[in-house]
Copies of this chain bind each other. A is one copy, B any other.
């Protein structure tokens, strides 16, 4: 048996348009994650390995940013690997950390994500918002990510009734959740009428269908079973992780209505954990646009394909108090989506949820949870399953 892997500490800056730069944000998140370990690391144990998830938005340190994490977290010397898989960087970094611990060579690993998006001038910001799309065919033709997800939403709406209603319900729910999360960027509830009357961004997606441009960092401390049991009574175990790739350009896929990378990653994660979608009590899914939450619920096997996500969403099951709460922290939609940070931030929330420490957004009795992280328009994806000890 390989050693089990647990999350034993987690840190998170507030999300928003912040004055701090990447170094300060990383320092804050890493410090909070390490300081928050209930009994601290046992004598003789220390962080053996670290992973930095970042796109490096705006070009603050295009090469070798891993060294900045070593400096910011006060662990110069420790091996640090920068992992970049676009918006799925965080999920892939957590998976790399789990593999490192499962290798038996590493006992404690730090995973940190950071992105500083708001201080990039507007022309450059548009450039950086597109760099994870297919450069050869899509970006050069002017297709943005809002454009890609707008096309997906159009096709979804064409095939399935009540799509607009469900998109609006996702926006209203995630904004209401974000309003309860003190670390969220958009702490503002919105009404359905506001969502549907908002300015269009990429038809049929409107302003409140799109995640904001956000700064922030998050960090996790992962440890092997022996360390984990010594430093806390409530470790959150990584039950399984799956990841997958896909072609970069959506035009090369047979359908717009699913992300095969999510489906493959989920299958791998469920197989790794030995339990399936029916056991999941709470989910963090990658809702960069409202349509993405609907796709995710179907690709993850939470709702039946072919529109099941519409029924599930409109039934209220994905809201607070529902059977399958989704994005209790507000999701990318309202909490914000600092690219490399997102996958790590999702596990921060699930760490709180499984330790019954999520305050007024707590999902009662949550024991098993799922995080779903997507890179770009589905060229990479991870699914991470966590469970209470």
Contact = CB atoms under 8 A, between A and B. Distances in A.
A264 interface: yes
Nearest to A106: B99
Interface stretch (A84-92, A177-185, A194-202, A323-331): A84-92
Contact of A80 (B80, B98, B133, B245): B245
A96 B66 CA distance: 15
Interface stretch (A10-18, A55-63, A215-223, A225-233): A55-63
Interface in A1-35: 2
B86 A245 contact: no
Question: Which 6 pairs across A and B sit closest by C-beta, in order of nearness?
Answer: A63-B132, A102-B103, A67-B379, A79-B243, A62-B131, A64-B86
Number of copies: 2
Contacts of A260: 77
Given A64-B375, A98-B103, 16 more contacts: A61-B248, A63-B84, A63-B132, A66-B85, A66-B380, A67-B246, A70-B379, A76-B246, A79-B245, A79-B380, A82-B85, A83-B83, A83-B84, A96-B99, A100-B103, A102-B102
Contacts of A319: none
B81 A85 contact: yes
Contact of A2 (B92, B103, B243): B103
Interface of A: 2, 55, 59-68, 70-71, 75-86, 92, 95-96, 98-100, 102-106, 128, 131-133, 135, 242-248, 260-261, 264-265, 272, 375-376, 379-380
Residue of A77, A81, A106, A380 with highest tally of chain B CB at under 10 A: A81
Nearest to A132: B63
Contact of A79 (B76, B86, B105, B244): B244
Contact of A67 (B76, B78, B131, B245): B245
